[in-house]
Chain A
Amino acid sequence: MCGIAGVVFKDKKLHPVGKFMTHMLNALQHRGPDSAGFALYGGLGLKEHEYILNIEVKEKPGLLEEVKNRVDSAFPIKSEEIIPSVENYTIYRCKVALDSFSQLKPLIMDVDKIDDVIVLNGAHSFEMIKDVGLVKDIAVRYKTEEKMGTHAIGHTRFSTESIVDRYHAHPFQTYIIPDITVVHNGQITNYWKIRDPLERKGHIFETNNDTECIVHYIADKLSQDYSLEEALEQSVKDMDGPFSYIVGTPNGVGIAKDQLGLRPGVMAENEEVFAVASEEVALREVMDTSNIEQISPGESRAYTI
């Protein structure tokens, strides 16, 4: 059992989306205490080809300097921030300017080669915040309530198969195309059937987590010019198991639910806001919920701005 949530402000303007998503996830805390995560879109204001890297670094003498040197020698660091985390780890956040998106994954793989260092993500149009522990603690650590944006997705995790750490916290991301994220509640039981053809196409999987499989699948479809709605619709046909998941893209949010309807999903919409979540208790944090809709088995919904 995990909690998932997504919200879109239809006017494309900046809103306190971090605050709203924090409240939504806090309301879903009972669905998963292991870790929590946010993908907050639209508020970074980066120039073209600028990217933010979030790097988990163990607190060891000289290690942070080694990471900085590794990044800086590849692409000059334009700004940086250090966010203390828990369990003797620090999150090192830095901004770099690449020549193109295709340089991002190789840079991440290069930094990942350093022992006790994991690049949690690299992004241009959204801010990734994910860590172990409770939403309220993560919110304070990362000042999530101060973050502005146009739309967001988020997650509270109750781990089933894979381990509890920052990297396995949701959202998951892929680098097939820029800035696609997924949060997920459930299991993909035909995991290898989905993963094998994607690997043969060149997708690089970093974990055995089924959520990573979903984000690669969706990104693959989007890269073939599927719309978000079409990609979600096809995913429900291709994936087996009990699941509901929410996808974030640079211009929208969508939700899909398995064909037997074994995981929850509700949505509410008015002229200003489109919101989806595991439970009504999260939706009521962003809007009036007198008219909520149940996502039906096999159904998908999306809103793009």
Chain B
Amino acid sequence: MNEFKINAQNNTPREINRSIKQAAKRKNRIVVENPNAMHYLVAGLTDPVEVVIDGSAGYFAATMIHGARVHITGNAGWFPADNMTDGEVIIDGSAGDGVGQGIYGGTVVVRKDVGSRTGEIMKNGTIIVGGNSGFMSGLFMMGGRIIILGDISDDAGESIIRGTIYVGGEIKSLGKNARIEELEDEEREELKEILEKYQFQVDKEKYQNFRKIVPRSARPFYGKETEEG
């Protein structure tokens, strides 16, 4: 394997990201050691390489990436994968608020719980949460899908415009413009396919319990229903 290791200890995010981007031109796997929950790691990487953050990352991990596959073996802070356009971010631990904020594409996987406003203003792509998701998940969501295996907290799908939030556990309350629908068998198959791809062990019965949160209207604030996009 064509691997490059970077020791983050005593380096700034700017120095580490510069090293990652340089290494990405000639290596196909980059390991960041001793990340120590540092902010902004792997920001703006646009090469299709594999990056392992061996520990926890801070805020905005893998923000604005396009095509990279980033694996965080610890936790992540606020806004991991923010505005990602393509690629994959996998977090083995938990994550803070705004997971996958504003993503245009790609997949974000968090194996444990996440904070509030998961997938806010996301336009496309997929976010999978193995545990629970907090307050206002899917806030102003404009496309894509969020899959929560655990519970979703208050005001789920607040002001959702497009897109779908699949929930395997309890839905504490819905936000404005959000409603609950049952799944079609076809959707259950789609869920099974992607969850198995990311090694989530889900009982057959659990798939039957999944429900989805979708928008009531694509024009909830002004305009006419006939103008819905």
Q: Do A296 and B36 touch (CB < 8 A)?
A: no
Contact of B135 among A266, A284, A290, A297 (CB under 8 A): A297
Interface residue? B77 (CB, 8 A): yes
Give A296 to B136 CA distance when docked, in angstroms: 11
The bracket for how many chain B residues form the interface is 20 to 34
Give A266 to B56 CA distance when docked, in angstroms: 14
Q: Do B97 and A281 touch (CB < 8 A)?
A: no
Contact of A297 among B59, B77, B93, B134 (CB under 8 A): B134
What A residues does B77 contact at CB under 8 A? Answer: 264, 279-280
Interface residue? B87 (CB, 8 A): no
Interface residue? A286 (CB, 8 A): no
If A264-B97, A280-B56, A284-B56 touch, whether A296 touches B134 (CB-CB below 8 Å) is yes
Q: Kindly count the residue-residue contacts between A and B in the assembled complex, taking CB atoms under 8 Å apart.
A: 60
Contact of A294 among B36, B38, B74, B115 (CB under 8 A): B115
Interface residue? B175 (CB, 8 A): no
Taking the closest CB of chain B, its distance from the CB of A110, in whole angstroms, is 47
The bracket for how many chain A residues form the interface is 10 to 19
If A261-B116, A264-B78 touch, whether A294 touches B56 (CB-CB below 8 Å) is no
What B residues does A264 contact at CB under 8 A? Answer: 77-78, 96-97
What B residues does A284 contact at CB under 8 A? Answer: 36-37, 56
Contact indicator per residue, chain B 146-186, by CB within 8 Å of chain A (1) or not (0): 00000001000000000000000000000000000000000
Residue among B36, B37, B59, B114 with the highest chain A CB neighbour number at 10 A:
B37
What B residues does A266 contact at CB under 8 A? Answer: 96
What B residues does A293 contact at CB under 8 A? Answer: 94, 113
Give A284 to B35 CA distance when docked, in angstroms: 12
Q: Do A294 and B97 touch (CB < 8 A)?
A: yes
If A280-B56, A294-B115, A296-B116 touch, whether A261 touches B135 (CB-CB below 8 Å) is yes
Q: Do A281 and B96 touch (CB < 8 A)?
A: no
Contact of B37 among A281, A290, A291, A294 (CB under 8 A): A281
Contact indicator per residue, chain A 215-259, by CB within 8 Å of chain B (1) or not (0): 000000000000000000000000000000000000000000000
Q: Do A290 and B93 touch (CB < 8 A)?
A: yes
Taking the closest CB of chain A, its distance from the CB of B9, in whole angstroms, is 13
Give A185 to B38 CA distance when docked, in angstroms: 20
Q: Do A30 and B39 touch (CB < 8 A)?
A: yes
What A residues does B97 contact at CB under 8 A? Answer: 261, 264, 294
Taking the closest CB of chain A, its distance from the CB of B132, in whole angstroms, is 10
Give A260 to B94 CA distance when docked, in angstroms: 20
Interface residue? A289 (CB, 8 A): yes
Residue among A264, A279, A292 with the highest chain B CB neighbour number at 10 A:
A292
What A residues does B134 contact at CB under 8 A? Answer: 261, 294, 296-297
> A interface vs B, CB < 8 Å?
30, 260-261, 264, 266, 279-281, 284, 289-294, 296-298
- Would you mind naming 13 contact pairs between A and B with Cβ atoms under 8 Å apart? A261-B97, A261-B134, A264-B78, A289-B37, A290-B74, A291-B93, A294-B94, A294-B113, A294-B134, A296-B134, A296-B135, A297-B116, A297-B135
Known: A279-B77, A280-B58, A297-B116. 4 other contacts (CB 8 A): A264-B96, A290-B93, A294-B134, A296-B135
